[in-house]
Structures are given as C-alpha cells and as structure tokens.
Amino acid sequence: MYIFSNFFFVVTGILVATLSQVRVQAQEPTNIHFEEILTLGDDERAPLKYQFAGPGAIDTDDAGNIYIAGTNNTIRVFTAQGVYKATMGGRGRGPDEFLDITAFAVIGEGAVAINDSRLLRITLFYHFGDSSVTHALPKSWNSRIGNRRVQKNIVPLDDQTYAISSKVRDVYFDRPASELDNRVVHVINYDFSTFKRSYFDVYEYLFDPQKKLERKLATDWDYRLAKLEDKKVAITHEVFDGNVYIIDLSSTDGSIKKVPGSFTGKERYLELDTNKKYRKNKYYRVTRSGGVLGKFRFQKKLMSDALLSNEKWLLNFVSVNEGNKGQYYIEFYTLEGEYKGHTQIDDDFVIQEGMRTRFFPKHLDDDNNLYYVDYSSGIPVVKVAKIILDNGLN
C-alpha cells in the first residue's frame, strides 16, 4: 500500500482551487496566492496511464519529472508538462515487484529508492526502471526488543547515507515502555545494509509512556519527516503536540531542538466514555473518524497533516478539529528551525455541500510548487500549484 497521508489534508487544495488569499502571521501580514499550473487524472476518457485509483507519495527530480506512487504498487513518471514517461514496479513477489510501497524517494533523475515494508526490502531503480538493485532490510529492523517497524519515509541526506523514519508497533503491548526501543529516525548507509545510528525516542518527547492510550497513539499513527539543510531533519507526529523537532543527524548523540509553534500546549486529543458493546475486546484500532480504543472513544483535535520542505521553507499543514468542524493552517519554519508564523484558512473554503472536501498535500519542490491530491470531484486528481508570497519571501 502506498503512503497515504491522512484524512484531513484539506487546506491546500481548496486554496488552490479557489485561488484564495490568506495572511501569514510572520514579521508582517503577507498575502499568499496559489496558482494552479498542472492537473493530472481529471479526464476519465484519457488512457489508463493518465488515471489514478488512489495516488500515494509524490516526488520530483531536478529535471522536473514527477513521480507518483499508486495503489497497484507502481510508480509512474510524468514530465513537468504532465506527459507520461515511464512506469516502475508492479504487484508481486518477484524482482522489481512490490506488495506494499510504503515509502519512496527520488535519488536522481530517473532513479528512485522504493521501500516494501511487507517484503522487507529496498529496491533502487535507475534509468527510469531499465536497471535495478534490491537490498534486504537489516534483520534487526523487525526484532528490536519486541517491536515491529513499518517504514514510512526515506530522506536522502547525501550520496552515502539516508534518513528513514519508522512507525513502531508494540507487538508485546503489555511490556513496560522502558523495555521498548522507541527510536523512530534512523541513519542507514547508501546500500541500505547497515544502520549507522538511531535517534528520537518518541515517549521522551511526545507521549507519556505510562498511559496506554498514548502508547497506542505513538504506535498506531504516523510520523512526519522532512529534510532540512546540513544533515538535519524535522519530525513531528500526526497527533500533533504543537512542536516541530529538529534533529542533527551529523552528530553522534543526535542533538534535538524543540521548536514551539502557534499550537504548543493545545489539547491534542479527546477521550470520551463509550458504551459497553465496545468493552468486550481489550483493544480497538483507532479510526480516522474518531474510532474506538478499549474503554475510550478517541477523537483527534490537533493534527499535523503533512510536513514538507524545499530549499527555502519547512511547511507544516495543521488541522484543529472541534466536533464536526475544523480549522486549517499552514505553519512556516525556516530551514534553520525558526518559526515564522502561520496562515489560517476560512472554514467556508473547506466545506462543500455539507461535506468536508478531501485534499492531500504530498510534495513541495524547490520552486515552491505544491503537489497534492484532490478528491473533490469524486475521482482522485493530482494537481500542482505555485505558492506565491507577496512580500518576496519566495
């Protein structure tokens, strides 16, 4: 299954579709414009290679080629003008096939690193799929003191090392948190065969390990990872705590800087009593619509929907939910980790005919072009829009 960012990725697409203006609360109010420049998948009469059942992760290379992961465990490549170019991968267990594309990263023009968390291997494609090399992930990946890891992000740091984030699932949920390895950012060498070091204990920064609900939040929900400069990465959790964490991966101890934002200290989730029919089983998987976990009904109130970066900005897409209503924001950070402010999107822009329209930000290139998936028409469409800041911060 492709990387599928989460339910409330609403803010950006509607902004683009309406070419609306919002203000950034940075050094001074700033108008932001989103100018749509490309659409893929909106013509149902087009050949199948131009249609998407459910686009996943999106990335680009320096030549402007667009790489889109799909539900059929392939990655399709399009030119910057939207012309189909190549397909890599396919469903299966054989060479160059995948059962679950959970992460991929473009590592050069026509070259990608694709992770399959079910087959536990990384495949490197070159020359738009004409050649490939496959590496098995280290055995230690799935045997760290009873933890099972699902790899969610791959970030090339340089031509020798990669940063990978993993979602850690507690196989032995009743095991004390102190016995579990909760580090979720790893540096691995260029052939994906050896871990170099691991960073960021999630409970130390994000959750209370003594609370079973928070332990389930840490393991059942995803992390956001984005590349910064000088071998630094930014990370936060889908159930947002209001902070973005900057990790220096060039240091042996992995120094971590916490950067508070506008939502630091805001309540991040809500527990409600539920009726007895939910109590016959010990644990329940939390659903995106406010699902059930044991004796609690859980509702996310503060979420990081996406964490995207380019050579200029780190953008955190945040939704704040109160009951059935939501407010949507984009937080701006510099690549040095300085918080600059946020935009707020009027709720009228994200509700259509009583239904919350679904938009999923996926990628931000160095020209401030935002790539996102738009479901508002009933079919998944990939769109590209340029972000323009009126005060010249582009």
- Domains, the chain, ordered by start: 11-20+33-261+353-389 (2.120.10.30)
Q: Is 293 buried (19+), middle (13-18) or exposed (0-12) by CB count in 10 A?
A: buried
Average pLDDT over residues 272-298: 46
Specify which of 140-154, 244-258, 301-315, 347-361 reaches the highest per-range mean pLDDT: 301-315
Residue 142 has pLDDT above 90, yes or no: no
Instruction: Give the number of C-alpha atoms closer than 13 A to the C-alpha of residue 197, restricted to the C-beta side.
Output: 11
Say which residue, 325 or 351, is predicted with more confidence.
325
Residue found under tokens 């052939």: 191
Residue 127: its pLDDT value, please? 94
Q: Which residue has the tokens 């309540």?
A: 267
Quick one: CA dihedral 105, 109, 110, 111, positive or negative? negative
pTM here is 0.81
The rounded distance, in Å, linking the Cα atoms of 389 and 377 is 28
Per mean pLDDT, which range of 9-18, 211-220, 384-393 is the poorest? Answer: 9-18
Structure tokens at 132: 């490939």
Q: Is 128 left (phi over 0), alpha (psi -120 to 50) or beta?
A: left
- Integer Cα distance of 186 and 154 in angstroms: 10
Q: Which two tokens stand for residue 171?
A: 């196989």
Q: Tokens 């170099």 appear where?
A: 196
Does 163 score more than 90 pLDDT? no
More confidently predicted of 197 and 36? 36
**Short-list 210, 208, 188, 214, CA closest to 199:** 188
Closest to 112 (Cα-Cα) out of 168, 196, 56, 166: 56
Pick 274 or 137 by higher pLDDT.
137
Residue 39 pLDDT > 80: yes
The pLDDT of residue 140:
58
Structure tokens at 235: 């990370």
Strands 58-60 and 84-89: unpaired
Asked if the model's pLDDT at residue 61 lies above 80, the reply is yes
Res 314 pLDDT > 50: yes
Q: What is the pLDDT of residues 96-121, one digit of tens each?
A: 889 888 788 898 999 998 888 778 78
Stretch 140-155: mean pLDDT: 60
